[in-house]
Amino acid sequence: MITYIDGPEVKITENDGIFVDVEFFHSKEKLTGLEPRRLFPRSGIDRYVALLDGEGNQVAVIRKMENLPEESRNALTKALDEYYMIPKILRFIKMTEKFKIWMWTAETDRGIITFEIRNHIASVKPLYDGRVLIRDANDNRYEIPDYRKLDKKSKAMLMPKL
């Protein structure tokens, strides 16, 4: 059975990078070195966060991060930010193609990056809510939160690939 954490019954503290320690007030149990993982890393990043032990077994699931006390929430967010990296593309700077291999240069929330797209039919997935998920030749992931909100130049570059 899944143990759910609704919020105030635990205290989450930072451990080492992607790990956190969790203290359950009710049972007075303290678990260290748990690894938080989003159950919905694409569709609901702040809901249903699983806590895994060193063996990869699930200890509990946090229903909503916003219900956690601020200190716990910050510790959890920090660990999740360390683990997950899906740069949000803010604009496209350049797209060049040679022999069907595309090099896309984009400005993301983590800086400017040039990545390789081998086959934009398989690598670029537009979703119906306007989001576009991109996977490059090295299996790195990127996301455009809403392609309709991109600037005109970026849109002109992206549209033929959607």
Partner 1 sequence: MTFMKISSNKPLPEKFSKKYNELFDNEQPLFIVTGDLTLDGAYGESALCFTADCIYAFDDSYPEGYERVMYEDVKEAKVKRMYGNATFDAYLNDGSRKKLIRFTFAAANVADAGADFINGILDGADPAELLDAVEGSFLKQRSFCPKCGRKLPSPDAECINCKGKGRMITKFASYAAPFKKGLIVSMLLSVFTTGMSLIPPYITGYMVDKVLPSREMSMLIRMILILLAVYILQYTVSAFRSYILRITGDKIIIGMKKDIYAKAQYLPMSFYDKTSTGSVINRVNSDTSVIQNFVLRITQDAVVQFFTLVGILIIMICLNWKLTLFSLLPIPLVVIIGRFFGKKIGPRYMRLWRRGSAINTLLTDTIPGIRVIKAFTNEKSAVDKYDAYNDEWLREDNQVAKISSIFPAFMTFLVTCGSLIIWFSGGSFVISGAKGFSTGLLVSFVSYASMFYNPVNFFANFSDTYQNTLASAEKILDILDAEPEHNFGKGNIPDRIKGKIEFKNVNFSFDRSKKVLSNINLTIEQGDIVGIVGTTGSGKSTLINLLMRYYDEYEGDIFIDGKNIKDIDIGYYRNQIGFVQQEPLMFRDTVFNNIAYGSSNPHVEQILAAADIANAHGFISRLPDGYDTLVGERGIGLSGGEKQRLSIARAVMKNPSILIFDEATAAVDSETEHLIQEAIERLIRGRTTLMIAHRLSTLRNANKIVVVDKGEIIECGTPDELMALKGKYYKLIQIQSMGEQLRRKKEEENFE
Residue 85 sits in the site that holds partner 1 (CB under 8 A):
yes
Using the rule CB under 8 A, give the single segment among 20-28, 58-66, 67-75, 104-112 that binds partner 1.
104-112
Task: Read off the tokens for 120.
Answer: 């934009």
Q: What are phi and psi of 72, to 5 degrees?
A: -65, -40
CB-wise, 56 or 70, nearer to partner 1?
56
Binding track over 122-141 against partner 1, x by CB under 8 A:
x---x-x--------xxxxx
19 CB-near residues (< 8 Å, 6+ apart): 32, 33, 34, 35, 79
Residue 148 sits in the site that holds partner 1 (CB under 8 A):
no
Residue 32 sits in the site that holds partner 1 (CB under 8 A):
no
Q: Is the dihedral of CA 75, 78, 82, 86 positive or negative?
A: positive
CB of 79 to partner 1, least distance (A): 11
What's the rounded Cα separation, in Å, for the pair 149 and 90? 9
**8-state DSSP, 87:** P
Residue 119 sits in the site that holds partner 1 (CB under 8 A):
yes
Residue 121 sits in the site that holds partner 1 (CB under 8 A):
yes
Place of tokens 């790990």: 19
SS3 107: strand
Residue ranges that bind partner 1, judged by CB under 8 A? 16-18, 41, 56, 81-87, 98-101, 103, 108, 110-113, 116, 118-119, 121-122, 126, 128, 137-141, 159-162
